[in-house]
Structure 1
């Protein structure tokens, strides 16, 4: 005996799970893999069946059905509760970036409505409207991508909508991604000469010379202890870094010592004679002024570079000192060369530019790329190669200019010889 199929008020046969309600709208019911009941609704049967296709895709792909009202902020709160394995300063920075830029508006979007174009539009908004630098958006992307990836892992999302969004932004905004420029040799010589003079800035000579001639990161320099320096073997042991970060509004900012993020970060760096001299100058200066390290950070003490109060040096303080050094050095040059059209002046640069300068000098000296990677502590050879390619591009340009000068001189000499014969 044939079973009579249910029909709607237009005599259309309804599929299993489909129902027409008393008010004329339609409902589709199904159970998820846990046996829990779910329903979707539509005004017409055609609209309902379009939604059924999405439900079927979610079921086949294992996408959870309880995502209907879930927002990006809900995923973020889950991520905060379960995320482990991050250093505290890194975790606090991630949370700051999210709460500052994502949570207020973009974070309220329901994940069921989230599209790739939404993420792209959000990054463009940060760049065009809020005028954030690409490096800052990179930090926002780092945490947002992790949050959305959790949605993929927990089967709320089929794919991560933020995949490749940052790459697209960098390509689209290529003009505002300014390359960090190394100091030229004349600029570096000017800086070293200015710092070496007795005066108010001579105090900064040891730390900036060490930055210039080791390629160490700022946190590695400020975190150096005397026990990390081997004057006999003339080597520097890099095994940790000093960081300064916010622990929130209540606890404020604090220093911490972190181990390197990668094994490549743990390394032994050769101590060049100029660096050894800088360390000895620092030691002598502290002895003469009666300055001693009186701070302990996560069990670490006896730091090499300390301020006049015996505390560790702050990266912000070093950058402020650099700005004053650049300003007064350039004033000195201009005062001494009044009327001269072309003089060497110091450009605007930061602490990290000195690491880039050291890398460029190694390129110019023909240092092996593998050795450069080990000295700089790059986990990825591609990072070293990128810097190498940029530095050698400038080097090749200057070499060609020298070649052109040589060729012109040779041609002039030949002309003179021919004229003499005549």
Structure 2
């Protein structure tokens, strides 16, 4: 069984592919060790990579190469929300499923594709989860910060998340006092931070990638600007954050306090995830500031485990058959094939490709370490303000 995997392995976003790639490889090894796809006579899974550098044009050409030359039956990808909107319908053109571990935008559910879907926490989930966290901090933990400053990646992804945040804050006691989109690449956030400080914002919310999170926090530190930060993207819960900031800046900025949503973390006591990570460590993989990012490692692996479940049910190499089965695939929470912890009671999709049953855990950086603080039923530490 040939599955394509198109992701950024070089360029500005290479760190995502560098962590997701080994996760896909380990999942492939585990599936093949256990006998491959039993309904296809034990057929092994082969994964063929394409490097899109996070660019839609490169993604399109790499997908064409994998479809025409390698004859793949399904794809892990595409990477970004911009790619999902602009080239997601290529899946329908080639009649093979695109299963993404990464894109998040709600707009991709409206492009008319019946072959393209994501299982990652969506922008809608990140946005509503961020608003829920903001309200929890104020209403349950006494934060008393009602003036909100928004700063975000001006791409499809960042705007989509932020639009939902703004919609959810309308008619509430919270007021958006500053709204700052930016374009990438960006090297200096000082002008944006000055605007936020001058606006009187009491709490910041942001949807952006890891690299820009580092630059933004450095700029805030240079201006001695410290207010609570509720991140609405995984850039705020990346284990590499303290190391990339440097110890002195990390101690100052992450104590603001800073909260980040977690798709996957070894802080979550979810048995299928912990079992998979134990196997990964036994294979020599390390995680954290000196190793791979556990979130992207697990998301990559999860994509292939979902394909395994669909392939077993489809008993076919035909892309249309696999896609039809994917759409109806439901994997219950606690199953060995559902290693991500953010579905309850289990993974399922709407016909549009929109995932159902998602929940958003939050960490807080405490003494430059991540602590699970929300929701209360899985919290391992108390919020510190």
Please classify the TM superposition score into its range, dividing by the shorter chain length.
Answer: under 0.3
Q: Which has the higher contact order (CA 8 A, sep 6+)?
A: 2
Q: TM-score, normalised by structure 1?
A: 0.23
More strand by share: 2
Q: TM-score, normalised by structure 2?
A: 0.25
More helix by share: 1
